[in-house]
Amino acid sequence: MSIKSVGKSLLSSLLEYQAKRLLNNNDLTIIAVGGSVGKTSTKLAIAKTIASWAEVIYQDGNYNDRLTVPLVLFNQTEPQIFNVWAWLKILISNEKAIKQTYPYKYAVLEIGTDGPNQLQRFSYLQPDLYVLTAISEEHMEYFLDLDSVAKEELSPLAFSKQALVNLDAVGPKNLIEQPFMSYAEIKQADYIIKQQADQLVIRLKDGNQLTIKAPLLGRQGAMIVLAAAAVNHWLGLSLAEIRASLASIEPVPGRMQLLKGIKHSQIIDDTYNSSPLAAKAALDVLYGCVAKPKIAVLGSMNELGSYTESAHRDIGAYCDPKRLDLVITVGEVAKKYLAPAARQNHCEVISFLSPYQAGQYLKDNLKANSVILFKGSQNAVFCEEAIKPLLLNAKDSAKLVRQSKTWLKLKAKQFSDLT
C-alpha cells in the first residue's frame, strides 16, 4: 500500500470519527444521492431547491468518496493529500464546529463507489432518505457484471431510513422485497412526469399536478427535476412551495448545458463523463432537436472493463443516420469500436484521437444553424476542449468542466497537438 493510500485511509478515519460526533450532537436530516449516472446533477437540484427555503449544506462538485463526504458536513474543501498543515487546520476547525451550534437543518450528500462494498462505508451517515438515480455500467473493471453494480448501488437501502428510486433507470427486478418510494414515467411510480414541449407536467403521489418550465434538457433532465420535486414533497412542501423551489434549478457545467456557438449553432455540452445509458439519453435529446444539421461528437467511454467493446459498438449502432448528419468520435477506443458500428449503420463518421483536432475540424467545416452534441469521458478524451473553438463568446469557456490550471496542465501532457 502506498504512502498516499495510507494517508487517505488515516484521514478518512479521523474525519469519519468527527462526522459521527457532529451528527450525534445535531438533529440533521440527511439526504444521500447515489447511482451509476446523474448523481451530481440530481444532488445539486435537490440541494438548491431546499436552499430556496431552508438552511442546507452541500458541495457543488462531486465530493462523493470516503475522504470528501465528511468534509461536506463541515463545509470544508479538500487540500492536497500531502499538505499536512492544511489537513491539521481542517481537523482543528472541525473540532470547534462539533462543539458549536450547527447552522444547518439539512445535508444533501453525494455518495459514490468505484467497486464492490464501498458504499457500506457511508453507513455511519444513516441517511433519512437515499435517492437512487440509476443502475447501469460503471467501473466495470472492478464489477463482475451489471448485477454486481445493482447490488452495490442498492446496498444503502439497508442503512437508510427511506429510499426514493428512479424506477425507470433502476428496474423493478432489482427491488424485490426492498421497501422504497419511486419516481419515474411509468404508471406504477409514486411520482410521475411527462414532458410536453419545453414544459414538464409532474404528478405527485397525492394526486396533485403541477406544470413548470425547466432549464434542463431531455428525459434525464426531466428526471432530475422530478427527483427534486419528489424530495421536496417528501419534506412536506405544498404544491405552490414545490413550484417555487423548482425555479432554483440551474444547468450544471458539462451536464446537458446549452451554449451558443459560431454560425448561429447550438452546442449541447454533456462532457462531464459518459456511460452507455447516459450516451443514449444524450443522443435522444439531439434526435429531438428540430434544428439541422445535427452532429454528435462522441468520445470514448472509460472504465467499462470487459464491456468496453460491446458498449461502444452498441452506441455506434444507436447512431441513427436519419437523425444525424455527422458522427465525430474522439479517442482511441471510440475510433476502434464506436466508429465502425456507426458506419455499418450508414452514418457518416470522422474520427480523431484528440479533442483539439476535432474542435478545429468543426470550426473549419461547421454549417450554419447546426446543433452539436458533445459527450465523452475524461482521461484521454476531454471533449470539452473540442467545444472551445466553436463558442460564440470565448468567455463561455469558463462554463466548461475541468478548466482549472491543474486540469489544463494534465490535458497539455496528454495531447501533443495542444496549441
β-pair type (106-110, 29-34): parallel
Nearest one of 414, 408, 385 to 269, comparing CA atoms: 385
- Residue 193 has a pLDDT of 86
Q: Are 217 and 281 in contact (CB under 8 A)?
A: no
Helices 218-234 & 276-287 angle (0-180, nearest 10): 110
Mean pLDDT, rounded, for 332-346 = 98
- Residue 288 has a pLDDT of 87
Which stretches within 263-331 are classed as H helix?
276-287, 308-318
Helices 276-287 & 308-318 angle (0-180, nearest 10): 10
Q: Give the number of C-alpha atoms closer than 13 A to the C-alpha of residue 303, restricted to the C-beta side.
A: 17
- Residue 24 has a pLDDT of 96
Helices 84-99 & 3-25 angle (0-180, nearest 10): 10
**Residue 419 pLDDT > 70:** no
Residue reference for cell 440527511: 30
| d(C-alpha 31, C-alpha 230), whole Å | 12
Q: Which three cell numbers stand for residue 213?
A: 418550465
Q: Give the number of C-alpha atoms closer than 13 A to the C-alpha of residue 167, restricted to the C-beta side.
A: 20
Q: Are 119 and 17 in contact (CB under 8 A)?
A: no
| d(C-alpha 205, C-alpha 233), whole Å | 9
One-letter amino acid of 308? T
Tens digits of residue pLDDT in 206-238: 888 988 888 888 888 889 999 999 999 999 999
Q: Is 10 left (phi over 0), alpha (psi -120 to 50) or beta?
A: alpha
The pTM score is 0.89
**Residue 12 pLDDT > 70:** yes
The lowest-confidence range among 150-159, 187-196, 246-255, 399-408 is: 187-196
| d(C-alpha 167, C-alpha 102), whole Å | 35
Q: Before 293, cis peptide (omega within 30)?
A: yes
Whether domain 257-414 has CATH 3.10.290.10: the reply is no
User: In this structure, is the dihedral angle defined by the CA atoms of residues 388, 327, 415 and 64, taken in order, positive or negative?
Assistant: positive
Average pLDDT, the chain: 93
**Residue 314 pLDDT > 80:** yes
Q: How many residues in total does the chain contain?
A: 419
Q: What are the extents of the domains in the chain?
A: 3-246, 257-414
**What three-state secondary structure class fits 156?**
helix
Q: Are 106 and 31 in contact (CB under 8 A)?
A: yes
Mean pLDDT, rounded, for 355-369 = 97
β-pair type (56-57, 257-260): unpaired
Helices 39-51 & 239-246 angle (0-180, nearest 10): 120
| pLDDT classification of 120: cutoffs 50, 70, 90 | very high
**Residue 131 pLDDT > 70:** yes
Rounded to whole angstroms, what are the CA distances from 381 to 265, 316, 415? 23, 17, 10
Q: How far is the first Cα of the chain from the last one, in angstroms, to the nearest whole number? A: 38
Q: Are 28 and 103 in contact (CB under 8 A)?
A: no
| d(C-alpha 116, C-alpha 183), whole Å | 26
Tens digits of residue pLDDT in 240-252: 999 999 999 988 8
Whether domain 3-246 has CATH 3.40.1190.10: the reply is yes
